[in-house]
Amino acid sequence: MNRRSSGGSEPQWEGASTGSPDAGASLAANIAAEVTAFAHEVGSCDPVTVVGAQAHWDVGGTPLAGTREVRAPAGVWEHEPSEMTVRCGAGTTVADLSAHLAQTGQMVPLDPADDAATVGGVLACGFSGHRRLRYGHVRDLVLQTRHVDASGKVVTAGGPTVKNVSGYDLARLLVGSLGTLGLLAEVILRTLPVPAASQWLTGDGDPFAAFDLLYRPSSILWNGSHAWILLEGDPADVAAEASKLEPAGFAPCDGPPPIPAVGRESMRPSDLRALAGTGGEWLAEVGIGLVHRHEAVQAAPVAPANALLMDQLKQRLDPDNRLNPGRRPW
């Protein structure tokens, strides 16, 4: 467990109690202190940006020059395997989180291209990994967030349990907001069992037909001529599904080539077919509609009514435009 020392002032909000009363209370106090310290660091006046691993530093524009940099707390704070939840600081690297969870056979399939990326960074970008086809969008892995808002106060959204519809879903709003509405301090994520078996296959068969053939594959990547398919689950099931793919021209392999990490082109899953025969190096997620490219991609425009709402949200939640100035998620 990687726990930072408590940073000075007393916790400023209620909540955060699990486990036995004493241990629970001190743990809660420690976590609260970490978050509070981060809130103090963020403060309430000057322009500020939160720095993770800078794995996607230029997404939505780089922060304006001279913006003060802060780092979110790091550390896996609470993990109860039978609850299938984990609480960690937003500054925790995905590598650290994964290593911690692996000890009890669990995972959070964030799957960033570079696992030095921080949990907060992945969520702020809202970038799902290559296994989204099976495990869903990263925002669906988030149960609770604590963020520091423009006034330097801590805001809790969502709840610590695996299921929760208490109040407005600000946690989902923060995912993909590039830290422009608030800076993530702490998150509680849903964990999953690491699948017993896992197998990549590759070949030049039709990936769309393969998608229809399989029951919930974990990933289907395609570069226009070849496809890489990830099967996960019970060993017998993986073997059976793999054998269905063999006649379609797929054979086991170690894994896909590195996924281009610069541009993410978003389209409808059915529109991917039209990419066949187009040039360039790209890797597309079949069933999802995402095309990874080595070159930057122009984001699609936002409908005027939505753009107005987004502007107004930003205006209300960060009236002085001090959170990550220079960035804009649309």
Considering only residues 229 through 248, tell me which ones interact with other proteins, judged by CB under 8 A: 233-237, 240-241
Instruction: Give least dist CB 116 to other proteins, A.
Output: 22
Interface residue with other proteins, options 18, 44, 62, 321 (CB under 8 A) = 18
Of 89-97, 111-119, 252-260, 268-276, the window that binds other proteins (rule: CB under 8 A) is: 268-276
Q: 68-70 and 48-50 as β-strands: parallel, antiparallel, unpaired? A: parallel
Of 35-43, 115-123, 132-140, 199-207, the window that binds other proteins (rule: CB under 8 A) is: 132-140
Q: Which amino acid is at 87?
A: R
Interface residue with other proteins, options 35, 97, 170, 220 (CB under 8 A) = 170
Interface residue with other proteins, options 216, 252, 276, 294 (CB under 8 A) = 216
SS3 content of the chain, % helix, strand, coil (to 5): 30, 25, 50
Listed residue (198, 199, 174, 200) closest to 187, CA to CA: 174
CA 248, CA 195: separation in Å to the nearest integer? Answer: 25
Q: Which CB, 31 or 74, lies closer to other proteins?
A: 31
Listed residue (324, 233, 285, 272) closest to 128, CA to CA: 285
Q: Examine residue 313 and tell whether it contacts other proteins (CB under 8 A).
A: yes
Q: Which CB, 74 or 170, lies closer to other proteins?
A: 170
String of contacts with other proteins for each residue 63-92, x by CB under 8 A: -----------------xxxxx--------
Q: Which CB, 45 or 196, lies closer to other proteins?
A: 196
Q: What is the DSSP string of 211-266?
A: HHHSSS-SEEEE-SS-EEEEEEESHHHHHHHHHHHGGGTEEEES-PPPPP-SEEEE
Per-residue b or e along 253-269, where b marks 16 or more CB atoms closer than 10 Å to that residue's CB: eeebeeebeeebbeeeb
Q: How many residues bind other proteins (CB under 8 A)?
A: 80
Interface residue with other proteins, options 99, 102, 215, 280 (CB under 8 A) = 215
Instruction: Quickly tell me which residue has 């896992």 as its tokens.
Output: 198
CA 255, CA 73: separation in Å to the nearest integer? Answer: 33
Helix, strand, or coil (residue 122): helix
Interface residue with other proteins, options 126, 224, 249, 326 (CB under 8 A) = 126
Q: Which CB, 74 or 214, lies closer to other proteins?
A: 214
Q: Which amino acid is at 196?
A: A
Q: Which CB, 9 or 17, lies closer to other proteins?
A: 17
Of 2-10, 68-76, 155-163, 222-230, the window that binds other proteins (rule: CB under 8 A) is: 155-163
CA 129, CA 246: separation in Å to the nearest integer? Answer: 26
Q: Examine residue 269 and tell whether it contacts other proteins (CB under 8 A).
A: yes
Considering only residues 288 through 307, tell me which ones interact with other proteins, judged by CB under 8 A: 288-290, 299-303, 305-307
CA 171, CA 329: separation in Å to the nearest integer? Answer: 16
Q: Examine residue 163 and tell whether it contacts other proteins (CB under 8 A).
A: yes
Angle at 70 between CA 142 and CA 24, to 5 degrees: 50
Instruction: Give least dist CB 175 to other proteins, A.
Output: 7
Task: Output phi, psi for 304, to 5 deg.
Answer: -55, -40
Q: Examine residue 27 and tell whether it contacts other proteins (CB under 8 A).
A: no
String of contacts with other proteins for each residue 87-116, x by CB under 8 A: ------------------x-----------
Q: Examine residue 159 and tell whether it contacts other proteins (CB under 8 A).
A: yes
